């Protein structure tokens, strides 16, 4: 939108008639801006899930249509109050010089009022309390630069108003500046942002610039505002996220690190706020991840348990050679069905373990490592037939693995199909599995049934020996987050889980693409705080979707 609400309020019939008298060309210019804004507003009105970008609405696609039988009311350390409008103002007020020059607008905006009144009616939350000690009361930093957000020209008539405009409000942003190859290192900077207003001498419109603010918190991001008015700058925010997620540093230790290394005192609540806001900023990246996953020919899927405020949930990963998508949810059919609705364009093969839900997907590959592990277990059992069965499965699979490896190496081996060459092995294995599917020994029976259920998925790789035999990719991708789970004991709310999954997806994808997640997350935060779209994920040069 070109015209701000504040400016639009002043434009009425009288204003337009006056402008027509003064400068008809300026009126034409204003009409063009108004039409452009009107079109944008109408388009926004007409937006619905079928014509706007995925994931639509406020819920993740895999959560849609699921009856919420456990309505979230928990407030954990993942839920934070908005520190910025309080602390940042304190910082600003304590800045001498600014107050002398300009009378600062210290009245709260309606948004801030509603936030503050909400805080007072809610129960005490973990994390920083409003009124507790935070940055601004304890620390004064020298101002290293000022960014002037001036109007320049009048929104209505384009008249140059630089001479009459004055700063009316502002805030400070603490950020870090990365050095370059000549002068490496990290420097802490404190930038003063000033916003200007001024009455146009020609048409009388009072123009003003305002820090951008996200229209409203969505259902997924309760109390998580997104705005330019932030104490922590995008580079520092990205560093905090990087330390917490990629380096697996606890909030307390991040606070300690920033104090020891940068000499910056930030409260745990401020850090927490910054992390959740960054997660909200990353949310639209998911649509890009889904598109990229869909274009792959091979995808791995796996899941591991996740603890959310004492509830047992699952952390899922869907990973291709260059993209990873993490989700946290229940291990139910709904989640899987809805995920595949989101991944409806995916037409490649899916590598999984034996978990029955995956059977819904027809073009599936099975991880052989799981089968070999089970066969080894049987070969060490105390039942003679189970021992023999276990050994036969091991021998058959090992022979076939050798064949796959040979096929990968030599071009001439491709002439004879592995299936044709090992017909006898496969026939005998099938026969013994059919017999064992009726065994009275539980584990033996289970493995027999598993082979019969998944026969095609298990041996599909024999026709495509270049494909993997194990689900290592997915298991490796989960490992980092399993360690983080052990350190943090999981998440405390649905919002915290959503944030964790978003971070995991972006970090893993950037790593797969040999690109710095720190830089990408910085760019996302920077753009989103100004109301702009997320930048494109780093691409692998020369990578063509198969």
Q: Which residues bind Zn ion (CB under 5 A)?
A: 154, 156-157, 159, 200, 202-203, 205
Please state, as a whole number, how many other Cβ atoms lie within 10 Å of the Cβ of residue 184. Answer: 8
Q: Least distance to Zn ion from the beta carbon of 194, Å? A: 21
Q: Least distance to Zn ion from the beta carbon of 199, Å? A: 9
Q: Least distance to Zn ion from the beta carbon of 196, Å? A: 15
Q: Least distance to Zn ion from the beta carbon of 201, Å? A: 8
Q: Which is nearer to Zn ion, 157 or 176 (CB)?
A: 157
Instruction: Identify whether the C-beta of residue 149 lies closer than 8 Å to the C-beta of residue 194.
Output: yes
Residues 538, 522: Cα–Cα separation, whole Å? 13
Instruction: Identify whether the C-beta of residue 273 lies closer than 8 Å to the C-beta of residue 254.
Output: no
Q: Which is nearer to Zn ion, 9 or 219 (CB)?
A: 9
Q: Which is nearer to Zn ion, 6 or 391 (CB)?
A: 6
Q: Least distance to Zn ion from the beta carbon of 152, Å? A: 12
Q: Least distance to Zn ion from the beta carbon of 157, Å? A: 3
Q: What is the DSSP string of 230-269?
A: -SB-HHHHHHHHIIIIIS---HHHHHHHIIIII-----HH
Q: Which is nearer to Zn ion, 205 or 447 (CB)?
A: 205
Checking DSSP bridges between strand 324-329 and strand 311-319, what pairing results, if any? Answer: antiparallel
Distance from chain centroid for Cα 182? 34
Instruction: Identify whether the C-beta of residue 491 lies closer than 8 Å to the C-beta of residue 481.
Output: no
Q: In sequence order, what are the beta bridge partners of 195?
A: 149, 169
Q: Which is nearer to Zn ion, 200 or 214 (CB)?
A: 200
Instruction: Locate 465 and state its tokens.
Output: 């020996």
Q: Least distance to Zn ion from the beta carbon of 147, Å? A: 24
Q: What is the DSSP string of 115-166?
A: HHHHHHHSPPPSSPPTTS--TTTS------EEEEE---B-TTT--B-TTT-E
Q: Least distance to Zn ion from the beta carbon of 225, Å? A: 32
Nearest CA to 508 out of 306, 325, 290 is that of 325
Residues 386, 311: Cα–Cα separation, whole Å? 37
Q: Which is nearer to Zn ion, 113 or 160 (CB)?
A: 160
Q: Least distance to Zn ion from the beta carbon of 207, Å? A: 7
Instruction: Identify whether the C-beta of residue 217 lies closer than 8 Å to the C-beta of residue 81.
Output: no
Phi-psi label, residue 14: left if phi above 0, alpha if psi -120 to 50, beta otherwise:
alpha
Q: Which is nearer to Zn ion, 87 or 159 (CB)?
A: 159
Q: Which is nearer to Zn ion, 156 or 501 (CB)?
A: 156
- List % helix, strand, coil for the chain (3-state, nearest 5): 50, 15, 40
Instruction: Locate 354 and state its tokens.
Output: 């034996």
Q: Least distance to Zn ion from the beta carbon of 7, Å? A: 10
Q: Which is nearer to Zn ion, 63 or 159 (CB)?
A: 159
Q: Which is nearer to Zn ion, 156 or 397 (CB)?
A: 156
Nearest CA to 249 out of 483, 84, 82, 504 is that of 483
What distances in angstroms separate CA 184 from CA 29, 177, 236, 529, one per listed residue?
48, 10, 16, 27
């Amino acid at each position: 939108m070109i015209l701000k609400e504040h400016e639009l309020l002043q434009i009425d019939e009288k204003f337009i008639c006056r402008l027509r008298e003064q400068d008809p060309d300026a009126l034409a210019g204003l009409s063009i801006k108004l039409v452009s804004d009107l079109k944008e507003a109408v388009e926004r009105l007409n937006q619905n899930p079928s014509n706007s970008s995925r994931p639509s609405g406020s819920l993740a696609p895999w959560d849609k249509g699921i009856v919420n039988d456990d309505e979230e009311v928990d407030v954990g350390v993942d839920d934070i109050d908005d520190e910025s409008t309080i602390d940042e103002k304190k910082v600003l007020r304590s800045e001498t010089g600014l107050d002398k020059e300009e009378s600062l607008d210290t009245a709260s905006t309606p948004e801030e009022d509603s936030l503050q009144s909400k805080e007072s009616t809610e129960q005490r939350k973990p994390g920083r309390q409003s009124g507790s000690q935070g940055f601004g009361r304890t620390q004064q930093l020298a101002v290293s630069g000022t960014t002037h957000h001036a109007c320049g020209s009048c929104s209505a008539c384009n008249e140059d108003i630089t001479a009459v405009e004055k700063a009316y409000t502002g805030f400070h942003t603490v950020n870090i500046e990365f050095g370059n190859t000549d002068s490496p290192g990290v420097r802490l900077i404190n930038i003063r942002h000033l916003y200007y207003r001024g009455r146009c001498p020609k048409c009388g419109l009072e123009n003003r610039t305002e820090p951008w603010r996200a229209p409203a918190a969505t259902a997924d991001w309760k109390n998580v505002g997104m705005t330019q008015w932030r104490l922590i700058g995008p580079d520092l925010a990205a560093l905090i996220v990087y330390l917490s997620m990629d380096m697996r540093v606890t909030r307390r230790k991040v606070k300690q690190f920033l104090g020891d290394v940068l000499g910056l005192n930030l409260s745990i609540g401020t850090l927490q706020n910054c992390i959740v806001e960054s997660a909200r900023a990353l949310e639209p990246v998911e649509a890009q991840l889904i598109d990229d996953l869909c274009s792959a020919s091979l995808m791995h899927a796996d899941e591991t348990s996740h603890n959310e405020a004492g509830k047992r949930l699952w952390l899922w990963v869907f990973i291709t050679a260059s993209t990873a998508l993490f989700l946290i949810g229940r291990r139910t059919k709904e989640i899987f069905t809805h995920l595949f609705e989101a991944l409806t364009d995916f037409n490649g093969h899916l590598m999984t373990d034996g978990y029955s839900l995956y059977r819904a997907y027809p073009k599936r590959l099975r991880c052989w490592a799981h089968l070999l592990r089970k066969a080894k277990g049987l070969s060490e059992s105390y039942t003679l037939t189970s021992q023999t069965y276990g050994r036969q499965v091991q021998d058959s699979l090992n022979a076939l693995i050798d064949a796959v490896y040979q096929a990968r190496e030599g071009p001439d081996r491709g002439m004879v199909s592995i299936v044709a060459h090992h017909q006898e092995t496969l026939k005998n294995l099938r026969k013994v599995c059919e017999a064992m599917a009726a065994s009275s020994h539980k584990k033996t029976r289970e493995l027999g049934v598993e082979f019969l259920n998944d026969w095609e998925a298990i041996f599909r790789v024999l026709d495509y020996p270049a494909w993997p035999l194990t689900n290592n990719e997915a298991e490796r991708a989960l490992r980092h987050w399993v360690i983080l789970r052990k350190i943090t004991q999981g998440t405390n709310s649905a919002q915290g889980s959503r944030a964790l999954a978003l971070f995991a997806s972006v970090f893993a994808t950037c790593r797969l693409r040999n690109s710095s997640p720190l830089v990408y997350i910085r760019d996302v935060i920077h753009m989103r705080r100004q109301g702009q779209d997320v930048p494109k994920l780093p691409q692998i040069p020369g990578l063509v979707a198969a």
